[in-house]
Structure 1
Amino acid sequence: MTTNTNGFSTDIRVNGEKLDCVNRFKYLGAIIADEGSKPEILARIAQATAALAKLKTIWNDMNIAFSSKIRLMRSLVISIFLYVFESWTLTAYTERRIQAMEMRCLRKLLGITYRDHISNEEVRNITRQANGPHEDLLTTVKRSKLKWYGHITRSSGLAKTILQGTVQGERRRSRQKKRWEDNIPEWTA
């Protein structure tokens, strides 16, 4: 995979064999794509939703306390979602998808469907009353990404060199794609 925006093709050979040029690949369970973090985030949402569906019998069991269901959801579903999330570049679209996934989880735990016409704010209030205050998923993602950024900027390793490094040339004209580091000033301003 290359990050070529000029349109010319690359010819990379290993032992005389030409390597294919791809738009995305999977490395250590995470999707690396030329279009950014969106495919990885959507894949993580799908995997977390599948894990949520597999635990349907637990969510429907009335003998399990809601606080226990929340702890199970965080350890069995949200942990799948949060794999390599520090590397994500969040856009308005992906932030909405993250919030929607969290609401889907809470509604499943409470047994509330969208046909019940209960707003998301009411679902959050019910959750707060039953389990006490907790941090929403998007806030967790943002806080942890800022924490990781601080850790890297205080270090003196290769990660800091890569994070603060620049490439010769200018960014292309027209609307720019959002970069990983563009999230940091947005959240700290």
Structure 2
Amino acid sequence: MAKGRMIELQDLWNDRNLPTELKMKLIKILVWSVLLYGLEGWTMTKADENRVLAAEMWFWRRMLNISWKERRTNRSILEELGVKRQLLGELVTRKLTYLGHILRGSGSVLTLQIIEGKVEGRRRRGRQKKQWFDNIKEWTGMSLVQAKRLAQNRTAWKKEIRRCSQMVANRQ
């Protein structure tokens, strides 16, 4: 859907009268918002992370009218724009902000019960599927109890969100 939105706005990207900085802001407002809609509920696998990273670079290339045939590296495009990869960091920020909201009890009681709850019975054979909270453990290195304690202090939680977001964004 986000790529479709990007294609719909092709007239904007081709307009030479618009400065690049404005085009970048428009991408963040008009395209990223479509991509990131509802992401708080996503369980991010490594393949999903790679898709998000590829989509971000596709957006920048499309904005600059750079073909894949030109064999330009992602690094050269980011240097030309003067930016770093941000989309995955934004995803982490939004997901951790939502978790803090839930853990403080600001959301519904049901969402907190779902996160803290256990399912009765036996699990299926084979490797366990990645769960929603597994992303949080990977990014923060905390258990649910530690995250819940830290989320009660909003300023400490915001610092943790910033740290995790920067760590994930710099990982690329």
- TM-score category (smaller protein): 0.7 to 0.9
Tell whether 2:97 aligns with 1:147. Answer: yes
Q: Which residue of 2 aligns with 1:173?
A: 125
Aligned-pair CA distance for 1:134: 5.6
Q: Distance in 2 between matches of 1:184 and 1:110?
A: 34
User: Which blocks of at least 5 consecutive residues in structure 1 are unaligned?
Assistant: 1-46
AA aligned to 1:160 is L
Partners of 2:15 and 2:111 lie apart in 1 by 46
Q: d(CA) in 2 for partners of 1:103 and 1:151?
A: 31
Tell which structure's C-alpha radius of gyration is larger. 1
Distance in 1 separating the partners of 2:117 and 2:81: 44
Q: With structure 2 as the length reference, what TM-score do the two structures score?
A: 0.76
Name the structure with the higher helix share: 2
**Is 2:16 aligned against 1:62?**
yes
Partner in structure 2 of residue 108 of structure 1: 62
Aligned residues: 139
> 1:135, CA displacement in angstroms?
5.5
5+ residue gaps, structure 2: 142-172
Amino acid at match of 1:57: D
Find the residue that maps to 2:3 and give its secondary structure.
Answer: helix
How high is the sequence identity, in percent, across the aligned residues?
Answer: 39
How far apart, in 2, do the equivalents of 1:145 and 1:151 lie? 10
**Pairwise CA distance, 1:177:** 0.9
Partner of 1:18: none
Q: Following the alignment from structure 2 to structure 1, what is the Cα–Cα distance between the partners of residues 134 and 122?
A: 16
CA distance in 1, matches of 2:122, 2:85: 39
Q: Separation in 2 of the partners of 1:183 and 1:77?
A: 24
Within the candidate set 108, 124, 139, 1:187 is matched to 139
CA offsets, 1:44-84, max 9 Å, x none? xxx11111011111101111011110111111111111110
Deviation string for 1:19-49 (max 9, x for gaps)? xxxxxxxxxxxxxxxxxxxxxxxxxxxx111
Give 4+ residue runs of structure 1 displaced > 4 Å after superposition.
none
Alignment root-mean-square deviation, CA: 1.4
| Partner of residue 111, structure 2 | 159
Asked whether the 8 Å contact 2:78–2:84 carries over to 1, the reply is no
Of 16, 33, 49 in structure 2, the residue corresponding to residue 95 of structure 1 is 49
Q: Which has the higher contact order (CA 8 A, sep 6+)?
A: 2
C-alpha contact 2:102 2:111 (8 A) present in aligned 1: yes
